[in-house]
Structure 1
Amino acid sequence: MALEPRSDKVFAEEPLASPTVQTGTATDAPTGERLLAIDIARGLALLGVGVVNVLAFAQVWSSVHALDLAHTAVDVVAEYAVAMLFIHRCYPLLAFLFGVGLAWQWQQLAEPRKVRRLRPRLWALLLIGVCHGLLLWPGDVLSTYAIVGLCVVALAGASAERLRRWTIAAYVLAAIIYGAAGAMMWLWAGPPSLLPEVPSSFAQSTLRAALAMHPGEFLERGLAQTLAPDLWAHVLFGMWAARSGALVTFLGSAPTASTRSRLPWHVAGATLLAGGSILEIIAAGHGGWAARSNHDLGLALMTLAAVPVSVGAIWAWLALATHWARAQPSLLRTLAIASGRAPLTQFIGQSLLFALLFNDSLIGWHGEVGRATCVAIALLVWQVLSAGIAQWFARGHRHGPLEIVWRGLTRRLTRA
């Protein structure tokens, strides 16, 4: 069976994960054809997540942004490509789309007690995330999204104007925190120092030893992710974009959408992404993500670039996805749609295969392959999983395999 379906309707709807075109007022519940651009954007973001995460599976924690596995010119090119295309650029988009999903799911629920009906879905996601973090990937972000979602779900029904104020406040707070941290590191910069090597659980020789390290790593990384102010801002941004109708206008799906109405978004997004990326390139010359040493100046510049890069990246990926959604069907387009329609299956599937390949207690490629090889592995894993998901949907399934598990847990928690 060919991977490209005869119709985009083959991929059935997952309400929270993906929206449909809105009609009527900006706050109407989505109806009609699904916005394929959302699925494509999510699928491409998951590809980038895999490319970034595979490097953490393959080496020590402290050197995730160092060239410790870049032994050739090809590895150096791969390092810079990953840094400029995916690091600080994919998770923000997923957080944004998570917020979009919360807002659109709210609109699809009937009154009353919408918050009470949404929370079991988030508790189920938290349970899946904790299991994922303890058993496979201590860098799990599903639990982080669930915690943030539980905290902000009451805002899913707020007016667009109220969400706009919350979003602006969150981004201002994130900019102040990162700006202050970057400025202090800049002012108090010390001499470069070698990064200490802290072996991760994937370097352990036995599976028991690896699993014993997961709780500590999961808690440390999960706490850092949950406390990141820009992640909260991205989720709120997505909720506002969905409630206000700005997202469907940007995607060109609203009846009143026009090139002129989208122009300010393109100018703002391109400016933020370009400015932040320039800061990152400068930071690379002072440590940043491109050296074996830790330099306060490089970290300071990287910190200052975090907010503009992440917001600009949301624009860039959505713009690319919008273009592809209107393009002729292709294999890559089909794979991206499939991945975006079953994000939980794609994300946890990546962790399972990466753990199998890189954990020293299993196949054991940890620390043995270079950057370029790691990237190639991640791309191949994404393609294989996406092709499998596409075939799964082509057989008539309405939800991805792990999405079915998620829905089952949600129903159990709802009845509890």
Structure 2
Amino acid sequence: MTGPTGLATRKITPDLARGLLLALIAVANAHLYLVERPIGYRGYPAGLTGGDAVVAVVQMVLVDGRVFPLFAALVGYGVARLAERAPEPVVRRRGLVLLGVGALHGLLLFPGDIIGAYGLVILLLAPAVASSSRGLLAAAGAIGAFAVFLSSGASGPQGVPTVPSIAAPTLGAFLAAHPTEWLATTIFSALLTAPAVLVGVVIGRSGTLDDPAVHRRRLTLWAVAGSVAGVGLGLPLALAVIGVWAPTGAVGAAVAAAHAAGGYAGALGLLGLMGLLGSVSWPGQRLVAAAGTWSMTLYLSQSVVFVAVFAVVAGGLGSTASLTTATLVGLATWLAGVVVAGLLARAGHRGPFELLVRRLTYLGGTSGTS
């Protein structure tokens, strides 16, 4: 068994994808902090108009439900790399560590946490990582179909915030609501993202992201086909978000299921686009990729900023901010994180949570390079 991959030997494209993905995660989470107003579909405020309506449609077809499957695919890529150099118990330990980090994040800050869900998926699916790629894809398809079916049940306006504790009036109430919220989110998110983790393992084996210049044709196919399918399947629910129509009954269920299915397609499209961006040089590329090596630390830091700015028990901006304002706050948080973490990473510093996860994962094994 060998230890963690050193910075000098890392492939740039997966880290670049993680760095870019953090911007989409910030956008995807920011609107969940908008509370104390009527809440419609997918946690978006009801009655959006003007610029907010445009922002909502763009997010619904390109970001909402697309980002976390993409994140999951990159997690699966990492699992494939880990399985190449470490036995199954180490892979399971990685899952357990991520579950623990996710629990702390969810209980203390943001119960909409996704890290715990990925940890649970890794923990449960670790024995299957050694299966054939064909078997992993078949399992991904079966689990994905079931997840889409379950998603059809969430077909109407929510009425309440996705994360109700953000509107809690006191710190005690804020924290008391987190265990139940985090547990429910983790279980459901694990089901939704498990297919993408399995696909990510297959992508990791294929070498597509390791040498994107050689695989431009495949990446272009992913980018075009995935994006077209993601937008097409997401548009009906996007129009419901801004009040163009209100699908009900079987039609509403079909629209919700289509949006969920489009999430997997859209995630593949985004991954293809990020792979293409990794196949050419452009200004800031190295900085964004360097920040991608801090992806967990930056993801957690976004929650610190969002709670401080938006939560009712802190800054309270979530009670009055528009969707556009929340989105801009999210992008500004991402940009600041890229600059700070990118410069630190390029100076040879690892993210504190990345170090913690690696040390706990390899506890008792070869320390390697960290």
After TM superposition, is the score higher than 0.5?
A: yes
Report the Cα distance in structure 1 between the residues aligned to 2:209 and 2:286, rounded to whole angstroms.
22
Matched, 1:298 2:252: yes
Report the Cα distance in structure 2 between the residues aligned to 1:318 and 1:310, rounded to whole angstroms.
12
Corresponding residue of 2:289: 337
Structure 1: runs of 5+ lacking an equivalent: 1-12, 19-31
User: Tell me, what secondary structure is at the counterpart of 2:104?
Assistant: helix
Matched, 1:126 2:99: yes
Corresponding residue of 2:71: 94
Matched, 1:196 2:163: no
Report the Cα distance in structure 2 between the residues aligned to 1:376 and 1:139, rounded to whole angstroms.
20
Pairing of 1:100-115 with structure 2 (within 5 A): 100-109=77-86, 114-115=87-88
Could you report, residue by residue, the CA deviation over 1:5-42 in whole angstroms, capped at 9, with x for unpaired residues?
xxxxxxxx9639x9xxxxxxxxxxxxx85332211111
User: Tell me, what secondary structure is at the counterpart of 1:366?
Assistant: helix
Report the Cα distance in structure 2 between the residues aligned to 1:59 and 1:205, rounded to whole angstroms.
12
Letter in 2 for 1:145: Y
Report the Cα distance in structure 2 between the residues aligned to 1:164 and 1:246, rounded to whole angstroms.
17
Report the Cα distance in structure 2 between the residues aligned to 1:52 and 1:329, rounded to whole angstroms.
25
Corresponding residue of 2:35: 59
Corresponding residue of 2:123: 150
Matched, 1:279 2:242: no
61-70 or 377-386, which moves further after superposition? Answer: 61-70
Matched, 1:15 2:15: no
Shift of 1:93: 1.1
Letter in 2 for 1:277: V
Could you report, residue by residue, the CA deviation over 1:331-371 in whole angstroms, capped at 9, with x for unpaired residues?
3x344213311111111000111011111111111221001
* Equivalent pair of 1:201/1:210 in contact (CA under 8 Å): yes
Which of 268, 271, 277 aligns to 1:318? It is 271
Corresponding residue of 1:233: 195
Report the Cα distance in structure 2 between the residues aligned to 1:180 and 1:130, rounded to whole angstroms.
24
Report the Cα distance in structure 1 between the residues aligned to 2:347 and 2:215, rounded to whole angstroms.
37
Residue-pair matches, total = 360
Bigger Rg, structure 1 or 2: 1
TM normalised by structure 1 equals 0.77
Structure 2: runs of 5+ lacking an equivalent: none
User: Tell me, what secondary structure is at the counterpart of 1:360?
Assistant: coil
User: Tell me, what secondary structure is at the counterpart of 1:361?
Assistant: coil
User: Tell me, what secondary structure is at the counterpart of 2:252?
Assistant: helix
Corresponding residue of 1:383: 335
Corresponding residue of 1:68: 45
| % same residue | 25
401-410 or 356-365, which moves further after superposition? Answer: 401-410
User: Tell me, what secondary structure is at the counterpart of 2:316?
Assistant: coil
Shift of 1:405: 2.4
Could you report, residue by residue, the CA deviation over 1:28-81 in whole angstroms, capped at 9, with x for unpaired residues?
xxxx85332211111122211110111112226954635526654111111112
Corresponding residue of 1:407: 358
Shift of 1:236: 0.9
Corresponding residue of 1:372: 324
TM normalised by structure 2 equals 0.85
User: Tell me, what secondary structure is at the counterpart of 2:177?
Assistant: helix
Report the Cα distance in structure 2 between the residues aligned to 1:150 and 1:330, rounded to whole angstroms.
39
- Are residues 71 and 315 of structure 1, via their aligned partners in 2, closer, same or farther at CA, if it must alter by over 3 Å? closer
Which of 242, 259, 265 aligns to 2:204? It is 242
213-222 or 375-384, which moves further after superposition? Answer: 213-222
